[in-house]
Amino acid sequence: MRRLSWFELSARNRIAALLDARSFEEFIGPEEVVTSPHLLQFDLPVAFDDGIVVGRGRLDGKLVLVAAQEGRFMGGSIGEVHGAKLVGILRAARALAAAGRTQACLLLLDTGGVRLQEANAGETAAAEAVRAVLDARTAGASVVALLGGRAGCFGGGSLIAACCSHIVMSEHARLGVSGPEVIETYKGAEEFDSQDRALAWRTLGGMTRRLLGSADALVDDTAAAFRQAAIAQLQRPRPLEMARLQAEHARLRERIRRFGDCRDGAEIVRRVLEPAAVYGLDNWSAQDTERLIAKLPESAHDAR
Amino acid sequence: MSSRDARLARAAPFSQGKVVAAADVTALLEAVLTPGDRVCVEGDNQKQADYLARALARCSSEKVHDLHMVQSGIVLPEHLDVFDRGIAARLDCSYSAPQGARIARMLRARHIQLGSLHTYLELFARYFIDLTPDVALIAAVSADSNGNLYTGPNTEDTPTIVEAVACKGGVVIAQVNEIVPQVPRVDIPGDRVHFVTRTQQPFYVEPLFTRDPAGITETQILMAMLAIKGIYAPYGVRRLNHGIGFDTAAIELLLPTYADALGLKGSICTHWALNPHPTLIPAIEAGWVKQIHCFGSEVGMEDYVAARPQIFFTGVGGTLRSNRALCQTAGLYACDLFIGSTLQMDLQGNSSTVTRTRIAGFGGAPNMGSDPRGRRHFSEAWLKAGAESRPAQSTALPRGRKLVVQIVESFGESMEPTFVERLAAVEIAEELGLPIPPVMIYGDDVTHVITENGIANLLLCRSPEEREQAIRGVAGYTEVGRQRDRRAFQQLRERGVVRLPEDLDIDPLDADRTMLAAGSIRDLVRGSGGLYRPPARFRNY
Amino acid sequence: MQTLHFSYRAASRLPGKRAQALVGVVASNDLEVLLQRTPKATDCVVTVSTAVHGYDAVWKAVLADFVERRAPGGLRISINDGGARPDVVALRLAQGVRLMGDDA
């Protein structure tokens, strides 16, 4: 029998499959019914956990803190309670890292961005989360973004991801500030045809992000692959120091220099891979593609 | 001078031999056509002669008017623009779902004189008797200088249309993607083609038969389990047709898993009248399928089909050769089961997809979703169904029955109940002055109804009252279902006329997505060894 | 939004080790069901929060059948409905009951 893919799993089940068996302890769980105070006035249903699961558990025996967004509830969007739980777990990670008790916070991001109905609270939370990520990293915790859900990682969520120490993506993941529909609304279909899903993934998808060096690992759409990648990434910590920040800026400058004139993700592929490695070689697993990419100079950086 | 010779003579200034420049097509049409002509524009189920449709819609209505359009599909806006612009007046067609809302409005406003809605096979039949077109506008992949055409995987209706028109003094005009020294396969001989025009863009093809496995729900998986264990297995259904839908896609994806675990490989689902559904790839790769004949192709499946000539019909050159008329005939006479979905069903099992605001036409489903009541060769499934339909004390001669299964959830979109006392089709007929209500499949052709609540076996019903209670018995929490007679329901269940999942040893909690052989388009691509190339709209990687 | 309250008498306490369970997601044609144990073994109390009005009779019928089939005694069930059809409601309730019987 088939296993459910990472894409198909709920937030809670992703955590259960990612961490060591039965090690997860949820904070502010659904039974506490801490729900959105705003959605009622929009005649919208609430979720018992406001669409995010936070808590602690073990990954390969070590204590980690975790947050997982439920992409199927209001597109995983960040509302007041949702945002508070996210910021809370990141601050807890900072405190525990400072006390030497944890070295990692895992963010299973699956979000279209800030929840429009709770925009002020959501924006504030996204900003606070960015600060909390940087504080946690400064205290010595790795913050690893694991991306592969149906909502993608957009808006405020993408800003949070970009501040993480490590980013892992599946082929289905998308990472970008503005989604195709938003771009088309403001700039027209010639700028970005949002109906062209192949274009969307060529531009924002896991494969392209990996080739650009924006993501650190491309994984198969399975919980086992995400778990393996998270463990591997944690073995290469990236403490937040001036030198690393400067390396990140240099990486981004080099990225513009090398690919700035590319009109399409396919061009990026052609510049990075040999002609024989056709884009989206549909027979390859993400694992095969990752092995190829890992040998390339673009992947040799340690910036983030 | 024959009518055709006159048309060709008028057209001569706009062509060089058979070749017409794309820019001259409208002028050519104005020359070839006469008012009141019967015209077939190839609006097939999938393939569209879209350039020619647009060129026709640009004709001057002073020169070209009162046309009688006879075509399979009303798919493109231009197919209805010709009515709004006074170019066409009368319509006979089969399928209209993509323009369902607009055609409903235009019929209401009497902007179109409707002849009839047909199934594909009925319409093709009438091309040879009383609806023979004078002019056909068709689409092909390529042509040579003699007008030989290659229609490729999406051959669909073209040979049938051309036979009717070319052999009865009509004029055939083709749009092609390219003109080549030699076509890879002669699908239409050049002496049946009078004009060819090369277009900048390839002709349009709708990807209608692709269903993303990611969209299949637990409810649909449960119904698929019921279909396989409750019908395919006991009747031994080897030869069948699946209508489009997520329900049938779920059945296809359960063959290598659930049906395999039941030990059914080789006993069911071996021979198909079916378009190349991507969701059948896992079953094909697992060795379930012996042979498939196709009505048309499916966008993205061309390379996969060409790589499986032992399964599919491929001609010289190796690409799929489809044929809607022949596949419809195959579905009618050489298959033992049809299964498809619908929007509404009444208490006698009559069903329709017509609503107040949309008229989708019939397509091919009612053709295959019917029992060809004349004599037919026997098969195990056909004999068994026939035996069940015959009361014990009957002295009539023994006959078989085709299995016609409606598979449908008891509530549709926006909690609209599927089961109703009176079909919307009946009201529409009154409103539009149609001679009969546009029923898709008649109740007395239906042998089984599957819902998420269970299976109603209408073959075993001995009266209209029993049939009504059997349908109420699977209508769940709809108002129609909640009004069932509890005692009648109990008795029907005891007789096996209504079977719930537990009567078949099926636990609804087992119906989850891990049972699907593929969970995503990506899985299907991998399962095909990279041969399946999904259209852009289905990619999420 | 509408909140519906239902109270049932169940045949017996639902066996199982778990104190609570959550199934489902608030999304189109889906719902969240939170099951928690209460002291009174034969009571089953259900609260439904839904934006879809006018289906009280259907909820009542679905829940009545559920209580009769599964004997979910000693439970408080809270539902956030995303617009689920009755078969999905019945499925999630059954999944919830099964989860409650799992090892904690």
Mean pLDDT, chain A, as a whole number?
Answer: 93
A154 strand-pairing partners: none
| Shortest alpha-carbon distance between residue A204 and chain B (Å) | 10
Q: How far, in Å, CA of C77 to CA of C99, rounded?
A: 13
pLDDT at A112: 97
pLDDT at B315: 86
pLDDT 10s digits, C11-28: 889 999 899 999 999 999
In this complex, which of B219, B482, B509 lies closest to C88 when CB atoms are compared?
B219
Q: What is the count of residue pairs from A and C with beta carbons less than 8 Å apart?
A: 44
Q: Is the pLDDT of residue B222 over 70?
A: yes
Chain B positions touching A199 (Cβ under 8 A) are: 536
CB pair distance less than 8 Å for A283 and B529: yes
As a whole number, mean pLDDT of residues A164-178 equals 97
Of A168, A157, A48, A158, which is closest to residue A106 (Cα–Cα)?
A: A168
Q: Which residue has the higher pLDDT, C97 or C104?
A: C97
Please give the CATH topology (third level) of the domain spanning B16-205: Glutaconate Coenzyme A-transferase (3.40.1080)
Chain C positions touching A43 (Cβ under 8 A) are: 1, 51
Half-sphere exposure of A192 (CA within 13 A, CB side): 20
Query: With an 8 Å Cβ cutoff, is C99 touching chain B?
Result: no
B417 strand-pairing partners: B411
Q: What angle (nearest 5°) sits at the alpha carbon of residue C45, between those of residues C39 and C48?
A: 140
Determine contact, residues B302/B319, Cβ cutoff 8 Å.
Answer: yes
| Shortest alpha-carbon distance between residue B538 and chain A (Å) | 7
Q: Per-residue confidence at B129, pLDDT binned at 50, 70, 90?
A: very high
Three-state SS annotation for A106-137 = EEECCECCECHHHHHHHHHHHHHHHHHHHHHH
Find where tokens 């061309």 sit: B302
Q: Is the pLDDT of residue A297 over 80?
A: no
As a whole number, mean pLDDT of residues B192-197 equals 98
Q: Is the pLDDT of residue C103 over 70?
A: no
CB pair distance less than 8 Å for B482 and C61: yes
pLDDT at A257: 93
Q: Per-residue confidence at B524, pLDDT binned at 50, 70, 90?
A: very high
**In this structure, which amino acid lies at residue B46?**
Q
Q: Is the pLDDT of residue B509 over 70?
A: yes
| Shortest alpha-carbon distance between residue C94 and chain B (Å) | 7
CB pair distance less than 8 Å for A2 and B515: yes
B16-205 and B213-515: identical CATH topology: yes
Pair of tokens at residue A124: 């504030």
pLDDT at A275: 56
Chain B positions touching C90 (Cβ under 8 A) are: 508
Chain B positions touching A221 (Cβ under 8 A) are: 520, 522
In this complex, which of B217, B477, B508 lies closest to C86 when CB atoms are compared?
B477
In this complex, which of C61, C87, C98 lies closest to B219 when CB atoms are compared?
C87
Query: With an 8 Å Cβ cutoff, is C51 touching chain B?
Result: no
Half-sphere exposure of B236 (CA within 13 A, CB side): 8
First-to-last C-alpha distance (Å) of chain A:
39
In this complex, which of A3, A171, A206 lies closest to B514 when CB atoms are compared?
A3
As a whole number, mean pLDDT of residues B193-203 equals 97
pLDDT 10s digits, A192-209: 999 889 899 989 999 899
Residues 409-438 of B with CB under 8 A from C: 409-411, 415
As a whole number, mean pLDDT of residues B318-327 equals 96
Determine contact, residues C38/C75, Cβ cutoff 8 Å.
Answer: yes
Pair of tokens at residue B121: 């096979």
pTM: predicted TM-score of the whole model, two decimal places: 0.95
Residues 75-104 of C with CB under 8 A from A: 78, 80-82
Percent pLDDT > 90 in chain B is: 91
Percent pLDDT > 70 in chain A is: 95
As a whole number, mean pLDDT of residues A21-34 equals 97
Q: Is the pLDDT of residue C37 over 90?
A: yes
pLDDT at B55: 98
Find where tokens 């005649």 sit: A43
pLDDT at B510: 96
Q: Per-residue confidence at B241, pLDDT binned at 50, 70, 90?
A: very high
Query: With an 8 Å Cβ cutoff, is B1 touching chain C?
Result: no
Rounded (10°) angle between helices A197-204 and A265-272: 50
pLDDT at B534: 93
pLDDT at B403: 98
pLDDT at B268: 98
Q: How far, in Å, CA of A102 to CA of A97, rounded?
A: 5
As a whole number, mean pLDDT of residues B422-427 equals 95
Query: With an 8 Å Cβ cutoff, is B530 touching chain A?
Result: yes
Q: What angle (nearest 5°) sits at the alpha carbon of residue B184, between those of residues B179 and B189?
A: 75
Task: At C73, give phi and psi (nearest 5°).
Answer: -75, 150
Determine contact, residues B57/B82, Cβ cutoff 8 Å.
Answer: yes
As a whole number, mean pLDDT of residues A94-108 equals 97
Percent pLDDT > 70 in chain B is: 100
Residues 6+ apart with CB under 8 A from A181: A194
Q: How far, in Å, CA of B372 to CA of B374, rounded?
A: 6
Q: How far, in Å, CA of B24 to CA of A181, rounded?
A: 39
Mean pLDDT, chain B, as a whole number?
Answer: 96
CB pair distance less than 8 Å for B513 and A4: yes
In this complex, which of A201, A207, A283 lies closest to B540 when CB atoms are compared?
A201
pLDDT at A281: 53
**In this structure, what CATH number is given to the domain that contains residue C93?**
3.30.230
Residues 166-225 of A with CB under 8 A from B: 171-172, 195-199, 201, 205-207, 221
In this complex, which of A2, A199, A205 lies closest to B541 when CB atoms are compared?
A205
Pair of tokens at residue B423: 């079909």
Chain centre distance of CA B431: 27
Q: What angle (nearest 5°) sits at the alpha carbon of residue C62, between those of residues C60 and C67?
A: 90
CB pair distance less than 8 Å for C27 and A31: no
Q: Is the pLDDT of residue B270 over 60?
A: yes
Coil, helix or strand for A264?
coil
DSSP of A213-253, one letter per residue? TSSSEEE-SSHHHHHHHHHHHHTS-----HHHHHHHHHHHH
In this complex, which of B217, B476, B508 lies closest to C86 when CB atoms are compared?
B476
CB pair distance less than 8 Å for A31 and C20: yes
Of B200, B254, B159, B309, which is closest to residue B511 (Cα–Cα)?
A: B254
Determine contact, residues A131/A153, Cβ cutoff 8 Å.
Answer: no
Residues 11-50 of C with CB under 8 A from B: 29
Q: How far, in Å, CA of B171 to CA of B167, rounded?
A: 10
Query: With an 8 Å Cβ cutoff, is B217 touching chain C?
Result: yes
pLDDT at B51: 98
pLDDT 10s digits, B335-371: 999 999 999 999 999 999 998 888 989 999 999 999 9
Count, residues in chain B: 541
Structural domain boundaries enclosing C73: 2-100
Tell me the CATH number of domain B213-515, given options 3.40.1080.10, 3.40.630.30, 3.40.1280.10, 3.20.20.70: 3.40.1080.10
Task: At B435, give phi and psi (nearest 5°).
Answer: -60, -35
pLDDT 10s digits, B473-500: 999 999 999 999 999 999 999 999 999 9
Write down all domains in chain A, each with its CATH number in brackets.
Answer: 11-239 (3.90.226.10)
Which chain B residue's Cα is nearest to C93?
A: B509
Counted domains in chain C? 1
Query: With an 8 Å Cβ cutoff, is B538 touching chain A?
Result: yes
Query: With an 8 Å Cβ cutoff, is C59 touching chain A?
Result: no
As a whole number, mean pLDDT of residues B5-32 equals 96
Task: Quickly list H helices, C2-104.
Answer: 56-70, 86-100
Q: Is the pLDDT of residue B175 over 70?
A: yes
Mean pLDDT, chain C, as a whole number?
Answer: 94
